[in-house]
């Protein structure tokens, strides 16, 4: 991967705040037909220069604009997203980037689980070729990683302590 040092740190931090690791499961008549790891970063469309710069520097992925939909919240705005889902780019660009410039938030745990899936798929598909059968090891790891991602994203129930000494409101 060729990515300027300063930019790599910036992208890692930006992804920590705005990015998302995804593991998509497509079923057909109840049977798994596709298991796809991917990443996505989205912002308001008026920040499109950031997304376009990410795509230009990483030299992979696709950029899509989404207009405000009828079902959107009243004040929502159109968005632009950068997505990478081809295995070659995930392995050689994304995994490499975040291994060299680690994420700092809870997303680091998501990355570990997600990247294990990408790396195993890469190894099992002769370095990224498509249409290879899913091994039982890959199926199990995919489901385990998906559980880690789901659990990490769940907001924990917290007990909020309040003052009960008459001094606080």
Q: Does domain 5-153 have CATH number 3.40.50.10330?
A: no
Contact status, residue 122 vs residue 116, Cβ threshold 8 Å: no
Q: Which residue has the tokens 């995930």?
A: 90
Per-residue pLDDT, averaged over 41-50, amounts to 92
- Least confident segment among 37-46, 51-60, 89-98, 128-137: 128-137
Which two tokens mark 122?
Answer: 């890469």
82-93: average pLDDT: 95
For residue 165, pLDDT over 80 is answered with no
Smallest Cα–Cα separation from 36: which of 24, 48, 27? Answer: 24
**What average pLDDT does range 31-39 have in this prediction?**
91
| Mean pLDDT calculated for residue range 39-53 | 92
Q: Which residue has the tokens 């195993």?
A: 120
Which pLDDT band holds residue 74 (cuts at 50, 70, 90)?
low
Which of 17-26, 127-136, 157-166 ranks highest by mean pLDDT? Answer: 17-26
What gap in Å lies between CA 23 and CA 140, rounded to an integer?
13
C-alpha to C-alpha distance for 25 and 75, rounded to whole angstroms? 32
Alpha helices, H only, the chain: 5-18, 48-58, 87-89, 96-100, 107-124, 136-153
pTM listed for this prediction = 0.82
Average pLDDT taken over every residue of the chain: 86
Task: Give the tens place of pLDDT for each residue, 50-73.
Answer: 999 999 989 999 999 988 666 666
At residue 101, the pLDDT reads 93
pLDDT band at 78 (very low <50, low <70, confident <90, very high): confident
Please give the distance of CA 13 from its chain centroid, rounded to a whole number: 13
Would you state the torsion angle of the CA atoms of residues 120, 4, 84, 23, taken in this order, to the nearest 10 degrees?
A: 50
What is the band of 162 on the pLDDT scale with cuts at 50, 70, 90?
low
Residue whose C-alpha is closest to residue 85's, from 66, 64, 68: 64
3-class DSSP state of 34: strand
């Amino acid at each position: 991967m060729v990515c300027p040092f300063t930019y790599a740190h910036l992208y890692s931090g930006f992804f920590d705040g705005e990015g998302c690791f995804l593991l998509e499961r497509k079923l057909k008549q109840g049977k798994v037909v596709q298991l796809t790891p991917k990443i996505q970063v989205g912002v308001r469309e008026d920040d499109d220069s950031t997304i376009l710069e990410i795509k230009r520097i990483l030299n992979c992925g696709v950029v899509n604009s989404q207009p405000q939909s009828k079902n959107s919240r009243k004040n929502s705005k159109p968005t632009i997203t950068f997505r990478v889902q081809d295995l070659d780019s995930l392995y050689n660009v994304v995994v490499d980037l975040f291994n060299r410039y680690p994420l700092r938030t809870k997303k680091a745990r998501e990355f570990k689980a997600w990247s294990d899936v990408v790396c195993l798929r890469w190894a099992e598909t002769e370095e990224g070729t498509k249409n290879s059968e899913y091994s039982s090891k890959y199926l199990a790891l995919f489901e385990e990683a998906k559980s880690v991602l789901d659990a990490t994203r769940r907001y924990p129930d917290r007990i909020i302590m309040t003052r009960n000494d008459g001094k606080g409101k």
